[in-house]
Structure 1
Amino acid sequence: MISVPRWLLLLLGALFSTYHVLLGLTALDVPAGPWPSVVALVLYAVATVISLWPSQRVRMPDWMAAINLAVAITMPLAVTGQLDPAADNGYATWYVAATGTLMTITAARRQLVAAWLGVACLAAQTVIWAGFPALGTLGVVGSIVWVAIAHMLTVALAAAAREARRYAQAEREAAAWQAAQDAHLFEGRMRLAQTNRIAAPMLRRIADLDGVLTDAQRRECRMLEAAIRDEIRGRMLLNDAVRAEVKRARERGVIVTLLDEGGIDDLDEATRDRVLTRLAESISGSQADRIIARAASARSSVAVPEGASAETADPEDAEVELWLEILRD
């Protein structure tokens, strides 16, 4: 999106405002008395300076908008009180363009209500003082047009900024989604390689023996099948220490089930290593016939129910002899 430097906008506003002040100074001899015009010039200069003073906030504070509105109402009353509405006052009507400029600055700084009230008061005062034709001859219509343009630009720029933020958020979400997909793909390939590393030697041996296996080889196949099941269902509950202890437990005849339901996916590497080390120690020290390690919900601990007779077919019907929770934190 093309953007205009803020300093350039401030400079343009300052130049326009200075021009109106110079016009007012050159026309001080036109009013019946110069001092009301001098007061109006001072008020306008002060209001312009505080409105254009660089700040972090784009939106003008409410108190500043109220000051600008008060100045926009005061200037026409002060100046026209010393002018003849039927005469050609020339540059003595500088206050019209000055009010328009001040209200344009107010609108550009997102105080649209104050800006429209200011030009509305200017138009009403002009009609009361010099009639409807003066709206065109004095330039009041031009001031209203400038405020309208500032209003439209302010709304358009605000909408563009919202769209830019929305697209940036969508881009970040798309990048995060792509990163997650890449991570899942990498994890799948890694686990496929792990499964192939575990199963390939035994599969080749089965092929070489034409499927005729000894009892020891069949037990080894069942162990490998359980290890592959762990890689699929256990996911984040596995590291080298846990794999080793699970294998030893199964060699002792223990039924070991690992169920990872995403409970520790959000842990950092150090915390996860601590949890899995504790899990490996729990499996190593268990004397139960059945061990179930489960990481359930996103905020749960790692639960290790131990016990139940190996003869019980349904894990839900097993009697838990020991319940161990490994805290995440």
Structure 2
Amino acid sequence: MTSVKNVLVALGVAFTAYLAARGLWWTETVPYPLAVVAALGLYLATTWICIFWEPSRNEHGGDDVMAVASLKRTQQRLPVPAQMLALASAAIVPTAISLAVGEEWRTAPFATWYLGGIGALMTIVMVRRRPWTAWTGIALLAVASMFWMGWASALALGLVGSIVWVTCAQLLVLSLDRAARDTGRLAQLQRAASAWQASQAMRQRERRVQVQEALAVAGPVLTRTVATGGRLNEEDRLEARLAEGRLRDEMRGPRLLDDEVRAELERARRRGANVTVLDEGGLEGLDENTLSIIRAQLAEALRSASSDRLYIRTSPDERVAVTVVGRSPSVGGPSEEDGVDLWREIPHPGAA
């Protein structure tokens, strides 16, 4: 399928070739025909170089939206050598044609083609993202044409049209730039909205899982509580405390838990220990095998613990994964400050 760019390139080549062909359709004998042909050759070569010369594509950054990338690919800036060649043509061709045809024929159709030809060339330069070069070329064209045929003849025979072409091209380029910026912003907003929706969906799934686990843990206790009218015996009270502890563990540190760790936490609570489990970060991105190694070491630490209070926290340190701290009343009595009788740092597997 023919792309829009290829169609525009074909139109540009055909139109500039038509303008140049007008210069070869002499209705009168000109003094220097070879100079006319040389000027036409310079014009065509410059125009087609400006159309076809693409700079080396050295794209930086990641993939934005495909529409933005496509716009950027079709908006390659004209290389500097081509700019210089275009300015040289704007300065040389009008003077060369005017001298070659002689003073008598400077306003003849076969001698004024360069007014439209240089205007078309500067329109191409403008579309190739070189506005200063384009307007400089139009200024050179205006000076040369007014010098050789007078300002009134230059304006009447095509200079105004060339200025209008370049102006319209600049407005079109500005509109495309704005469309590209708007497309980029829209793409960013769409990505942000998609990320937000995905995070909300994930949070909803996590909440559903947590609610299901809470019902599975606390459901039997709540049922007994309702059935007895809130009059629980010691065994029921213990089960209620254990259910509360399990719910806290599932909400505060789910990545630390497996069946073995849950069993050790329940054993510690049944003997009367106060256990706190907190996931404060540091385990993000770990695979299941790594987490299994950490959980096995945590279960081993809990199995040998006899402290009255246990604090289990993850660590943001790149070396330590989990810290287990146990505190118990000092020998002097419960009124004194508790002493630390357990300190265990579980390292990240593979950490030095």
TM-score (norm 2): 0.81
Displacement after TM superposition at 1:28 (Å): 8.7
Displacement after TM superposition at 1:73 (Å): 1.7
Displacement after TM superposition at 1:178 (Å): 0.8
User: Matches of 1:68 and 1:276 in 2, distance apart?
Assistant: 72
Which residue, 57, 79, 84 being the options, matches 1:61?
79
Displacement after TM superposition at 1:78 (Å): 1.6
Matched residue count: 324
Query: Which secondary structure state, in structure 2, belongs to the residue aligned with residue 291 of structure 1?
Result: strand
Q: Mean alpha-carbon deviation: is it higher for 52-61 or for 226-235?
A: 52-61
Q: 1:126 to 1:304 in 2, by over 3 A?
A: same
The answer to whether structure 1 residue 207 and structure 2 residue 223 are counterparts is no
Matching residue of 1:283 = 302
Matching residue of 2:193 = 174
Q: 1:33 to 1:176 in 2, by over 3 A?
A: same
Displacement after TM superposition at 1:255 (Å): 3.0
Q: 1:271 to 1:75 in 2, by over 3 A?
A: farther
Alignment of 1:136-147 (within 5 A): 136-147=155-166
What code does the residue aligned with 1:225 have? Answer: E
Matching residue of 2:134 = 115
Matching residue of 1:238 = 257
The answer to whether structure 1 residue 259 and structure 2 residue 278 are counterparts is yes
Which residue, 84, 108, 112 being the options, matches 1:89?
108
Contact 1:97 1:140 in 2 (8 A): yes
Alignment of 1:121-140 (within 5 A): 121-140=140-159
User: Matches of 2:189 and 2:259 in 1, distance apart?
Assistant: 39
Superposed CA RMSD: 2.9
Q: 1:128 to 1:41 in 2, by over 3 A?
A: same
Query: Which secondary structure state, in structure 2, belongs to the residue aligned with residue 307 of structure 1?
Result: strand
The answer to whether structure 1 residue 294 and structure 2 residue 313 are counterparts is yes
Aligned identity (percent) is: 36
Displacement after TM superposition at 1:301 (Å): 4.9
Which residue, 58, 66, 73 being the options, matches 2:91?
73
Matching residue of 1:15 = 14
Q: 1:273 to 1:51 in 2, by over 3 A?
A: farther
User: Matches of 2:328 and 2:301 in 1, distance apart?
Assistant: 18
Displacement after TM superposition at 1:136 (Å): 1.7
What code does the residue aligned with 1:319 have? Answer: V
Which residue, 156, 160, 182 being the options, matches 2:179?
160
Matching residue of 2:213 = 194
Q: 1:258 to 1:85 in 2, by over 3 A?
A: farther
Which residue, 203, 222, 225 being the options, matches 1:184?
203
Contact 1:242 1:279 in 2 (8 A): yes
Structure 1: gaps spanning 5 or more residues: none
Q: 1:81 to 1:305 in 2, by over 3 A?
A: same
TM-score (norm 1): 0.86
User: Matches of 1:320 and 1:114 in 2, distance apart?
Assistant: 80
Q: Deviations over 1:196-228 (max 9, x none)?
A: 110011111222333333323322221111111
Q: Mean alpha-carbon deviation: is it higher for 100-109 or for 124-133?
A: 124-133
User: Matches of 2:112 and 2:338 in 1, distance apart?
Assistant: 96
Q: 1:191 to 1:325 in 2, by over 3 A?
A: same
User: Matches of 2:294 and 2:90 in 1, distance apart?
Assistant: 70
What code does the residue aligned with 1:14 have? Answer: V
What code does the residue aligned with 1:245 have? Answer: E
Displacement after TM superposition at 1:40 (Å): 1.6
Q: 1:305 to 1:52 in 2, by over 3 A?
A: same
User: Matches of 1:285 and 1:77 in 2, distance apart?
Assistant: 100
Matching residue of 1:216 = 235
Q: Mean alpha-carbon deviation: is it higher for 53-62 or for 87-96?
A: 53-62
Displacement after TM superposition at 1:167 (Å): 0.3
Q: 1:274 to 1:130 in 2, by over 3 A?
A: farther
Query: Which secondary structure state, in structure 1, belongs to the residue aligned with residue 340 of structure 2?
Result: coil
User: Matches of 2:259 and 2:94 in 1, distance apart?
Assistant: 85
Matching residue of 2:61 = none
Query: Which secondary structure state, in structure 2, belongs to the residue aligned with residue 319 of structure 1?
Result: strand
Structure 2: gaps spanning 5 or more residues: 58-72
Query: Which secondary structure state, in structure 2, belongs to the residue aligned with residue 14 of structure 1?
Result: helix
